[in-house]
Copies of this chain bind each other. A is one copy, B any other.
């Protein structure tokens, strides 16, 4: 049968194989951005196989036959790092012929923005090493994962100016200064505080919590939360977020 030839070719590799029940030739990889003390991090893992440490990599793996792509990404992220409850968005599919040394595999990259404090990396004997790595100190990663990261970072910088996604990097309640620090960290620039505040508030996307920051040795700032409902409403009226 002709198909069998193709199938053999598909699995003709000397590296990690897709386990039983998973689709050959496709994988998912997760690019998880986090914010910690005002600097941007990315979540990396390192497999230990037969006592040998593999290079750092994005957490990724194979897709089950009966599983949607995003579900697979979510499962694998949790499996490798213990991170749960993040909303994954598709970034791009990377499919160069030679991106892996074994066989032909296209990988669907997903990304998410989280606040690292809400995402503890829960170690476990079955799990690889995991770390939040500062975006400026990323080592050589496995396969084409540096390329995926570079693409994702550019994407993030563009996207944060045109869509209100930055809020995902912060805890639910945040101060305007925390939000501003986030923009400065991602865009790598400095912004004027009063002007930032004015522009952000005028969009009417922030709802005051009527609560103050605590534990600071100076005037406490007001806390806000992102008003997703207001955003939906405005969007449907043709509003377009800009920063």
Stretch of A63-71, A112-120, A122-130, A138-146 at the chain-chain interface:
A63-71
Chain A residues in the interface with B (C-beta under 8 A): 2-11, 17-26, 63, 65-69, 90, 92-93, 95-97, 104, 106, 108, 158, 161-162, 189, 238, 240, 242
A26–B67 contact, CB under 8 A?
no
Q: Please, how many angstroms separate the alpha-carbon atoms of A193 and B95 in the complex?
A: 44
A10–B24 contact, CB under 8 A?
yes
Which residues in B have their C-beta under 8 angstroms from that of A161? 240
A23–B23 contact, CB under 8 A?
no
B5–A20 contact, CB under 8 A?
yes
Q: Please, how many angstroms separate the alpha-carbon atoms of A19 and B162 in the complex?
A: 42
A5, A93, A104, most chain B CB atoms within 10 A? A93
Which residues in B have their C-beta under 8 angstroms from that of A17? 3
Starting from the known contacts A69-B95, A162-B162, 18 additional A-B residue pairs (CB-CB under 8 Å) come to A3-B17, A3-B24, A5-B20, A7-B7, A7-B10, A9-B65, A23-B25, A25-B25, A26-B26, A63-B95, A65-B97, A67-B97, A69-B93, A93-B93, A93-B108, A95-B108, A106-B108, A158-B162
